[in-house]
Structures are given as C-alpha cells and as structure tokens.
Amino acid sequence: MTSTTSPQLESMVPTQVNKIILILSFTILLVVMNATMFNVALPSIIIDFSLNSSTASWLVSGYSIMFAIASLAFSRLSDFIPVSRLLFFGISILGIASIIGFFSNHFLLLLGARIVQAVGGGGIMGLGIIIAGRLRLSRRARAMAIINSTASLAFGLGPLIGGIITQYLGWNYLFAISSISVLSIPFFHLLLPKEVLQKGHFDLFGAILTGLSVTGLLLFLTTFSYIILAATVVLFVVWWRYLHKRKEPFIPPILFRNRQYTKLLLIVCITFFINFATLFLMPIMLTTTFQQGPIEVGMIIFPGAIIAVIAGQYIGRVIDRFGNMPLIISGQLFLLSATILFALLSTISPYFILVAYMFVSVGFTSLSTSISNEITRILPMRQVGSGIGVAQLIQFFGGGLGVTISGLLLTLQNSLSPETIYRNIFNCFFSVIMIAILIYGLYYRSSRLKQPS
C-alpha cells in the first residue's frame, strides 16, 4: 500500500485545521453517542419486540463487530482513496441507516439498520484518527487529544441523552440524533483538501471472511447450533489459510507471531469484554430489579463515564512519568474490585451499581490507554499501524463477545432470582479478569527475561 502521509493535510493553515477538527469532533460525538445511547434503550426494545436478552444482545454485539471491521477497512482504503470521498460515503450510510431505523417496526429491520449504521460510524471513527495522524507533527498530538476527549465525553453523554429521549419520545428517536451527522457533509467538502485517487489494493474478501468468522462464533454462542459451529470452524480455517497466502491481507498474520503482542491483545479483549458486558447488563438490572426508568438509568451510568473523562486527563501524564505497567496493573485491580462489588451489592441498591461502575470505568480507561501505548512500544515501527488496527478489531470483538455471553447467561438463568443471576454472572467475570491478570504476569515475566542483565 501507499504511504499514509498527506502533503495537502500537512500544509493546511491553522485556522483551516481548527475548523476541520471542530466539525470532525462534532461528527465523532454523534457517532460515539450513537453506540452508547442504545444500551439504555435495550429494556424498552426487549419489551416492544418481546425478545429475550440473548437475542437483544445482537443489537450491541452486531454493531460492535461491524464497527470494528469498518474502522479498519476505511483506514486501509484511505491509503489510496481520498478521505473526503470516504467520509461522504460513511456519513451518508450512517444517515440512510438512521432513517431506516427510525421507521423500523420489526426487530430484524432494526438490527439491520444498526449494523449498517456501524459501517458508517466505524468508518467515520477510523477516518478521524487518519486525519489527525496526517496533520503536521506540531498539530497532531492536540488533534488526537481533542478526538479522544470528544469520544470520552460522548460515552458519558450517550446514556444520559439516550435515557431522556427513550423515556419522553421513544427509542426510535435515538436514530434522529445520529442522522444529524449528515449536516457535516458540506463542511467537510469545503474544508478538506482535494486529494487524487490513486491505484491501490484492498483485501475485500479477507474483510468479509473476518466478519463472517467472528459473526459465526457469536451466533453459535447464541444458538448452540452444531451446524453453525461446524460452518464457523470451516470459515476460520479458510480465513487463516487465506491470510497466509495474500501479499497484503486484511489482517497481517505476521503480527500473531509476536507472542508479547498476542498477550496484549488477549488482555485488551478481556478489558472490552468486561466494559461492554457491564454496560449491557446495567440497564437491564436497573429496569427489572429496581424499576428504574430510562432517565434514571442514564443518570446512574453518567457519573462513571464522566469520571473516566477526568481520569483520562491524568492517565497520559502517569504513563509519561512511570510507564505503562502501573496503569495496566491498577486497571485490572479496578475491574477486579468492580466485579466483587457487582456480585455482592448490585441487587441491594442502584447506588451500589453507580459506585461499582465507577470502578469499571476508571479501570477500563486505564487499561485501554496503557495497552494501546504498550503496543506501539513493543512493535517495530513498520507494524505499528497494522498492530493498532488489529487491536481495535479485537477490542470490539471482545466487547461483542461480552454482550453475547451476558445475554446468554441471562437467558439460561431466567428462572432464578435476580440476586443469584447477577452474582453468578459477575463471579464469571471475576474469573475472566483473573485470566487477564495471569496473562499480564506472563507478559511481564517475558519482558524481564528479554532485558539485558
């Protein structure tokens, strides 16, 4: 592939750069809010369509999978297709899917709209990082910080705004919020520099195989169909052989030969597993156990998300001063503490849920930031771009897997008391985090052995 450097973006005057970052941040705010607003609406959607938790989980897990694949795909396409064209396509797809979702009166139509939304949303998010990365070095860090802060703010605003809209207008109107993103199209057209379409190659078949393989695995965990399991195993075998035969595959298999990198992928997968699963379970827990409305649910999630935004302002400084290890360890301990709090206290009072989620939020922010930084540290420079892209894919796969497993556990235990159900689920999560801690112990041991004595 061609280089991702862009002389046009590097040479822009500061005022033009500021305008682009402003419009881009506004669009990313809507995209990330779109991903989090629907968590609060899930209990209402379950009632409206008479769904079980396992089926409803596909609204989150399906979105997560497609978002991750689209983010990586659009990033690769930007090597030879002008960013302005890709942004136009991504925003248009998001807008069209939002209109379809607004009028959806069947679950499959709603699910389809969410998955198509994820194509546009993932593309916008991926291109946002690409645009920031192509700016002049002196402006790059500031642009990245603004985008990350915007995404963090959206994680906090999403549940709150989603709760207000769901309670007073209905969940359909959540799609109206994301459709506002189409207003940014003329601004991007005017502000982004004109780029020339270049020749390039994109591994479309590899991207499709990746999506089908991951979807097959999650579908098996929902249905326990041995036919789906057999088909998924075949898909994974074909996918793995295909990646090794391609010159420029969608996912470079050489990355997985780096055992240290693979260990970090497993840790970040578990991190997103816990965070997404918790965000999926909390609205259901608050609605069914404490009869909380969507607004109350959003208000309980909101403080944890805001604390993550505040913590994010200091995490970078801690990494610069002490390295990644303290935050990786403390992040895992925060998640471990949260699962204990959820298992013991979550069915006593909504306020215990509020406090427990603060631990999850801080732990998640600490781990996701420090692991990403650690990946850039251990990979060769030529593999950093692909390594971060694959890590993003694994992150959202972990999130989708967490939601799917949570929905499955809720469905399998529906005859038990809420106290027993959630204690069992968070006991499972405790075990999962212990696995992550063990993996990091192995990672740290290998790192020490490689250091010169």
Same fold for the pair 7-192 and 251-453 = yes
- Enter the DSSP assignment of 414: T
Q: Alpha-carbon Rg of the chain, whole angstroms?
A: 21
pLDDT higher than threshold 60 for residue 331? yes
In which band, very low, low, confident or very high, does the pLDDT at 145 lie, cut at 50, 70 and 90? Answer: low
Distance CA 21, CA 71 (A): 18
pLDDT digits (tens, 9 = 90+) for 215-270: 888 888 877 888 999 999 999 999 999 988 888 888 888 888 899 999 999 999 99
pLDDT value of position 143:
76
In which band, very low, low, confident or very high, does the pLDDT at 125 lie, cut at 50, 70 and 90? Answer: confident
pLDDT value of position 106:
92
Residue of 148, 131, 149 whose CA lies nearest to 140: 131
Token couple for 55: 């089926």
Distance CA 64, CA 114 (A): 10
Least confident of 65-69, 131-135, 257-261, 326-330: 131-135
Element (H, E) at 341: helix 325-345
Higher pLDDT, 250 or 335: 335
Q: Where are the beta strands (DSSP E) in 142-287?
A: none
Q: Letter for the amino acid at 310?
A: I
- Enter the DSSP assignment of 257: G
Token couple for 318: 């801690």
Environment class of 252 (CB within 10 Å of its CB; exposed 0-12, middle 13-18, buried 19+): middle
Percent of the chain at pLDDT > 90 equals 39
pLDDT digits (tens, 9 = 90+) for 183-197: 999 998 888 887 777
The SS3 of residue 118 is: helix
pLDDT value of position 48:
92
Q: Judge contact between 123 and 90, C-beta under 8 A.
A: yes
pLDDT value of position 157:
84
Environment class of 13 (CB within 10 Å of its CB; exposed 0-12, middle 13-18, buried 19+): exposed
Give me the DSSP letters along 307-326.
Answer: HHHHHHHHHHHHHHHH-SHH
pLDDT higher than threshold 90 for residue 328? yes
pLDDT higher than threshold 50 for residue 2? no
pLDDT digits (tens, 9 = 90+) for 75-120: 888 878 888 899 999 999 999 999 999 999 999 999 999 999 999 9
How confident is the model over 146-167, as a mean pLDDT?
A: 83
pLDDT value of position 5:
45
Environment class of 180 (CB within 10 Å of its CB; exposed 0-12, middle 13-18, buried 19+): middle
Higher pLDDT, 96 or 370: 96
CATH superfamily assigned to domain 251-453: MFS general substrate transporter like domains (1.20.1250.20)
CATH 2.40.50.840 fits 7-192, yes or no: no
Environment class of 226 (CB within 10 Å of its CB; exposed 0-12, middle 13-18, buried 19+): exposed
Residue of 331, 352, 349 whose CA lies nearest to 340: 352
**Do you know the residue count of the chain?**
453
Q: Judge contact between 270 and 433, C-beta under 8 A.
A: yes
Which residue ranges make up each domain of the chain? 7-192, 204-249, 251-453
pLDDT higher than threshold 50 for residue 128? yes
How confident is the model over 329-340, as a mean pLDDT?
A: 95
Query: N- to C-terminal Cα distance for the chain?
Result: 40
pLDDT digits (tens, 9 = 90+) for 393-448: 888 889 889 988 998 899 889 888 888 999 999 999 999 999 999 999 999 998 88
